[in-house]
């Protein structure tokens, strides 16, 4: 995906009123299906998934709040954050006092609309900027209309499996339940879909890749109820893609274990990227990594982000709009994820067939015929370093780090050595 394509999909996906369930999720997955072939799963309301139960499905057509002067002060047709997500249907007239438990503002940011949900408690409400609500009359009747359905239906999620030579898997997980907020969360689906296009273009892939687009928490719990035990056996690395599109520096959040292949590869790539970045520890305050890293699964799942959730003032407000993200940052995040996947693909343990003394590289076509001034000595030294440490005791990530270099620099060397028969992949 180039930047023009990224911007096009942002514009198309932005207006959709998404939630845990409902047609907004289905429409979003239908559009993403243009980029990668998604298998759609529908799980009926009332289904037990681990310790949870799939809730009733929510769909909404219209939501308006009109003040006593006849002015529309909240309208989901203008911004779908204006209605409390999962609001039950209601129509009637209410006094200012009667509305107090149904109005949500953010006093510390008086110009923005907050994002409020009521997934598991029957409720309704409107979200307004504090500036607008503070100017409303206390006398007279307010007209309320929320035209919604909250009834048995389904929870929907989509997944795509990109086969590799092995059935060992790398998981990229993102969520599709948030309405019109750009960084949280249109950025994750855009990055995940963009990563798919790059990996699908590779001629060879060692690993199988699974891309998951699910409502946060309950959607991933439903997915784990179906696939969790197989993932425990087959997953080698996984990442949650979220808050990927703002202009802040890259951030890597560790898995709960902290030393998995997912952690090592991400930190290695970021370290040698020369981009500003930081690494933060695993905490349960966050996204779906807490489901993947829950005690029974404890999967090797981290998260590559830009500015983490809750650490930018626009988070969960109408200020997280299309101006808060940009295609260049999204493209850069896609590229970072792709380089991490390349690192994992390359990372194997090797065994040099000549363990006593150096192998004669000249007769294998690995060494230049002359000691000319234009010989790439960095390449030669890197080659000799690789062969020296190829004793079956350390993987390529560690070999590269020992020389303080990126693993990605070793790809032509490894390919040449394998072709020449001077190294073999060590048996595990």
Cβ atoms < 10 Å from Cβ of 412: 11
Question: Do residues 51 and 91 both lie within one domain?
Answer: no
Whether 140 and 92 map to the same domain: the answer is: yes
Name the phi and psi angles at 50, rounded to 5. 55, -125
pLDDT in tens, the chain (428 residues): 899 999 999 999 999 999 999 999 999 999 999 999 999 999 999 999 999 999 999 999 999 999 999 999 999 999 999 999 999 999 999 999 999 999 999 999 999 999 999 999 999 999 999 999 999 999 999 999 999 999 999 999 999 999 999 999 999 999 999 999 999 999 999 999 999 999 999 999 999 999 999 999 999 999 999 999 999 999 999 999 999 999 999 999 999 999 999 999 999 999 999 899 999 999 998 899 999 999 999 999 999 999 999 999 999 999 999 999 999 999 999 999 999 999 999 999 999 999 999 898 888 888 876 565 566 788 889 999 999 999 999 999 999 999 999 999 999 999 999 999 999 999 76
Q: What is the pLDDT of residue 285?
A: 86
- The DSSP secondary structure of 297-360, one letter per residue, reads T--SEEEEESSPTTSSTTTTBTTSSTTT--HHHHHHHHHHHHHHHHHHHH--EEEES--SS---
Residue 409, φ and ψ in degrees, nearest 5: -70, -15
Contact 359, 387 (CB under 8 A): yes
- 407 burial level (CB within 10 Å; 0-12, 13-18, 19+): buried
Whether residues 72 and 184 fall in one domain: no
- Structure-block tokens of residue 110: 């008086």
Residue 142's beta-bridge partner residues? 94
Q: How many CB atoms lie within 10 A of CB 421?
A: 10
Please report, for the domain that includes residue 306, its CATH number. 3.40.630.10
Buried-state track 369-385, b at ≥16 Cβ within 10 A, e below 16? eeeeeeeeeeeeebbbb
End of a domain among 346, 375, 405?
346
**In which element (H, E) is residue 400 found?**
helix 396-402
CA distances from 425 to 203, 308, 417 (A): 20, 38, 11
Among the candidates 311, 346, 381, a domain finishes at: 346
Predicted pLDDT of residue 371: 62
Residue 396: the pLDDT is: 98
Q: What is the CATH number of the domain that holds 406?
A: 1.10.10.10
* Same domain? 353 vs 341: no
Clarify whether residues 116 and 131 are in a common domain: yes
Nearest to 252 by CA among 280, 233, 225: 280
Alpha helices in 33-138 (DSSP H): 96-99, 130-133
Q: What is the pLDDT of residue 375?
A: 65
Q: Whole-angstrom Cα distance, residue 187 to residue 411?
A: 30
Handedness of CA 14, 19, 24, 26 (dihedral sign): positive
Nearest to 411 by CA among 357, 361, 341, 363: 341
**109: CATH:** 3.50.30.90
Give the length of the chain.
Answer: 428
Distance of CA 72 to the CA centre of its chain: 36
Residue 151: CA count within 13 A, CB half-sphere: 5
79 and 145 part of one domain: yes
Residue 428 burial (C-beta neighbours within 10 Å; 0-12, 13-18, 19+): exposed
Structure confidence at residue 378 (pLDDT): 87
Q: What is the dihedral of CA 60, 65, 66, 68, to 10 degrees?
A: 140
Q: How far apart are CA 194 and CA 335, in angstroms?
A: 9
241 and 354, same domain (yes or no): no
Nearest to 10 by CA among 167, 314, 244: 244
Q: State which residues form the domain around 174.
A: 3-55+154-346
Tell me the pTM. 0.96
Do 98 and 203 belong together in one domain?
no
Indicate whether 79 and 224 sit together in one domain: no
Choosing from 99, 124, 151, the residue where a domain stops is 151
Q: Are residues 50 and 161 in the same domain?
A: yes
Give the chain's domain count: 3
Whether residues 335 and 211 fall in one domain: yes
Whether residue 342 is found in the same domain as residue 285: yes
């Amino acid at each position: 995906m180039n930047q023009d394509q990224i911007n096009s999909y942002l514009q198309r996906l932005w207006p959709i009123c998404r939630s845990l369930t409902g047609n907004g999720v289905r429409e979003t997955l239908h559009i993403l299906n243009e980029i990668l072939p998604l298998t759609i799963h529908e799980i009926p309301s009332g289904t037990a998934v681990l310790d949870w139960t799939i809730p009733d499905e929510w769909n909404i057509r219209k939501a308006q709040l009109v003040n006593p002067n006849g002015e529309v002060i909240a309208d989901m047709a203008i911004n779908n954050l204006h209605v409390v997500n999962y609001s039950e249907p209601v129509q009637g007239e209410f006094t200012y006092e009667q509305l107090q438990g149904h109005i949500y503002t953010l006093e510390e940011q008086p110009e923005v609309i907050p994002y409020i949900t009521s997934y598991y408690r029957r409720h309704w409400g409107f979200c307004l900027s504090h500036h607008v609500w503070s100017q409303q009359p206390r006398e007279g009747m307010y007209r309320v209309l929320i035209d919604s359905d909250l009834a048995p239906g389904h929870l929907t999620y989509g997944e795509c499996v990109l086969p590799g030579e092995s059935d060992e898997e790398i998981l990229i997980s993102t969520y599709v339940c948030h309405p019109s907020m750009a960084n949280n969360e249109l950025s994750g689906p855009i990055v995940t879909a963009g990563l798919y296009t790059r990996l699908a273009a590779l001629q060879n892939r060692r690993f199988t890749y699974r891309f998951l687009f699910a409502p946060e928490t309950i959607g991933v719990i439903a997915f784990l109820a179906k696939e969790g035990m197989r993932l425990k056996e087959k997953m080698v690395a996984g990442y949650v893609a979220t808050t990927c599109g703002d202009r802040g520096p890259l951030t890597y959040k560790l898995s709960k274990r902290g030393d998995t292949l997912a952690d090592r590869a991400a930190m290695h790539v970021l370290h040698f990227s020369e981009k500003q970045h930081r690494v933060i520890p695993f905490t349960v305050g966050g996204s779906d990594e807490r489901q993947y890293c829950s005690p029974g699964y404890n999967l090797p799942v981290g998260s590559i982000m830009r500015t983490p959730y809750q650490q930018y003032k626009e988070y969960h407000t109408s200020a997280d709009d299309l101006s808060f993200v940009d295609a260049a940052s999204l493209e850069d995040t896609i590229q970072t994820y792709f380089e991490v996947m390349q690192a994992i693909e390359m990372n194997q343990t090797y065994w040099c067939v000549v363990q006593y003394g150096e192998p004669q590289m000249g007769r294998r076509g690995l060494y230049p015929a002359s000691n000319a001034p234009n010989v790439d000595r960095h390449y030669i030294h890197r080659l000799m370093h690789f062969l020296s440490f190829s004793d079956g005791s350390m993987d390529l990530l560690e070999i590269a780090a020992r020389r303080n270099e990126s693993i990605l620099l070793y790809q032509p060397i490894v390919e040449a050595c394998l072709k020449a028969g001077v190294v073999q992949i060590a048996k595990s």
